[in-house]
Structure 1
Amino acid sequence: MREVAFRIEDVIDEYMFHVARYQNQHDYLHKMACCVKNLMSRHKIASKIQAIKKSVGEIRERMEKYGVNFLSEHGNSERQNTWHDPRIASLFIEEAQLVGIEPPKADLIRLLVQGESKNTVISVVGMGGLGKTTLAKKVYDSEIASSHFDCKAWITVSQSYKMEELLRNMIKELQREKAQPAFDGIENMNELSLIKKLREHLSEKRYIVVLDDVWRIDFWGYVRNAFPDNDKGSRIIITTPNEDVAPSSKESSIYYVYKLQSLPHDKAFELFCKKAFQSKERNCPSELLELSHAIVEKCEGLP
């Protein structure tokens, strides 16, 4: 199907070059001359279109023969229902399973509880698979964070999001914390009303909000209005694979960019052995040492 799609694009380009650019000619004789000149090109294009139609028909026949129905409405809904966010598993990893997380965890907790009383944004930056979500979750769940802040919320943003839905989820998360009063009518509120409700709720509180997996550069510009700067030492953590997305430390002294580093080889090998060899000792068998080190090298320090 991908190959046929490329062929269709090529035929359209050919048509635009040989035929379509002459359609708007006002000189009748010149237009007719071009039409005659392009008869051969038209014939070749028509032949290619017929061949493409034949290929599409053959693809459909094979799909029906082997019961492939992923283009149907039913197939699409099935695919959506069976897709799972790969980051979910990283939210439930036990501390004992982690390797090399203590130094960055200590750094982030220090940024949370020390420093300015103004709202501070901490962006955890690193390529996909480096463990940004896992690190942020361990910091978010830590006893220090829980006792230091009046309320907190964890929000997964991702590449496609609806701002109103994101704000509603934030309100619901904050509502669950420490027996906060319920918010009425938020399902019918628009974006402006939701921002006002959030600002009102957070105005006298020291809060921590994690915005996980942010991709859009303009995201912080939109969502920052929901967080009142009440001079109480509130913190916002953003995780992103793209440093351009992170609010720049050059822009303000209250914006920190924390670049998460890949694991050194010894730590990466330790983690690999924990995952690959589930025996009590979790040691690599001697006959697999060379192969195991080769696999770890190929992973380049990514957990």
Structure 2
Amino acid sequence: MMKLTRGTKKRDVISIYGMPGLGKTTLTRKVYNKPYIVNYFDVKTWCAVSQAYNRKKLLAEIFNQTTRREMDEDDDIADLLLTTQIEHVAKHLQHHGDPYSLNFLTSTQSWKLLENKLSRGERCPLNLLEAGLRVAQHCKGLPLMVVLVAGFIAKMERELEVANDLSSLVLGEQSMKVIQSSYEHLEDH
């Protein structure tokens, strides 16, 4: 963020590169939406450029976002924050500084992210700690993988809760049938 707001007054390209799933877009989106950044720039645009993009549509999207309000001559439109999977693209577009390489998470960072996504602020029970650490290691340092696995685990937990609730309900109904059947076969006194 400091490079965006305290860097050179000349045009600048700030590049973040790394393989898919490392969180380049997530990080960039968080920076883009920070109140400090929102208030710092007069005009901001967000556009995603796929491998097969249409130049006219891309320019139209940028134009539509920038013309939502009146632009002044003093508007600073000099900085570009770019994410790419390809290191040489990031290096080719660098202007006043080196591009940022987003690295894999360590096993500890992966575990902390997984625990955070699953625990809702509580610590992991000790009996699940070893399994959680193994799951985090299998995510190979990719934040996207950790978040997806956490989502699957949370869904499985909810499904297990529903299954347990339903099985107790079914057992309750069966128990009532057995009791009713026994009651109906009692001799009159």
Q: How does 1:168-187 map to 2 (within 5 A)?
A: 168-176=60-68, 180-181=69-70
What is the CA-CA distance between 1:117 and the residue it aligns to? 1.3
Instruction: Tell me what 1:159 maps to.
Output: 51
Higher RCO (C-alpha 8 Å, min separation 6): 2
Q: How does 1:49-198 map to 2 (within 5 A)?
A: 109-176=1-68, 180-181=69-70
Instruction: Tell me what 2:92 maps to.
Output: 248
TM-score, structure 2 normalization: 0.68
Q: How does 1:153-302 map to 2 (within 5 A)?
A: 153-176=45-68, 180-181=69-70, 204-207=74-77, 234-248=78-92, 253-278=95-120, 280-281=121-122, 283-302=123-142
Question: CA, structure 1 residues 270+127, in 2 after alignment: closer, same or farther (shift >3 Å)?
Answer: same
Distance 1:271 1:153 in 2: 29
Worse-superposed segment, 121-130 or 289-298:
289-298
Distance 1:301 1:247 in 2: 24
TM-score, structure 1 normalization: 0.44
What is the CA-CA distance between 1:153 and the residue it aligns to? 0.1
Q: What code does the residue aligned with 1:265 have?
A: S
Question: CA, structure 1 residues 239+202, in 2 after alignment: closer, same or farther (shift >3 Å)?
Answer: farther
What is the CA-CA distance between 1:262 and the residue it aligns to? 2.1
Percent identity reads: 34
Question: CA, structure 1 residues 235+202, in 2 after alignment: closer, same or farther (shift >3 Å)?
Answer: farther
Whether contact under 8 Å (2:13, 2:95) holds in the other structure is no
Distance 1:253 1:140 in 2: 20
**3-state DSSP of counterpart to 1:295:** helix
What is the CA-CA distance between 1:277 and the residue it aligns to? 3.6
What is the CA-CA distance between 1:204 and the residue it aligns to? 4.3
What is the CA-CA distance between 1:165 and the residue it aligns to? 0.1
**3-state DSSP of counterpart to 2:83:** strand
Distance 1:253 1:238 in 2: 12
Q: What code does the residue aligned with 1:206 have?
A: D
Q: What code does the residue aligned with 1:273 have?
A: E
Instruction: Tell me what 1:9 maps to.
Output: none
Instruction: Tell me what 2:165 maps to.
Output: none
The runs of at least 4 consecutive aligned structure 1 residues that moved more than 6 Å come to none
What is the CA-CA distance between 1:171 and the residue it aligns to? 0.9
Distance 1:253 1:155 in 2: 20
Alignment length (residue pairs): 143
Distance 2:32 2:140 in 1: 27
Whether contact under 8 Å (2:24, 2:102) holds in the other structure is yes
Instruction: Tell me what 1:42 maps to.
Output: none
What is the CA-CA distance between 1:245 and the residue it aligns to? 1.8
Instruction: Tell me what 1:54 maps to.
Output: none
Whether contact under 8 Å (1:248, 1:257) holds in the other structure is no
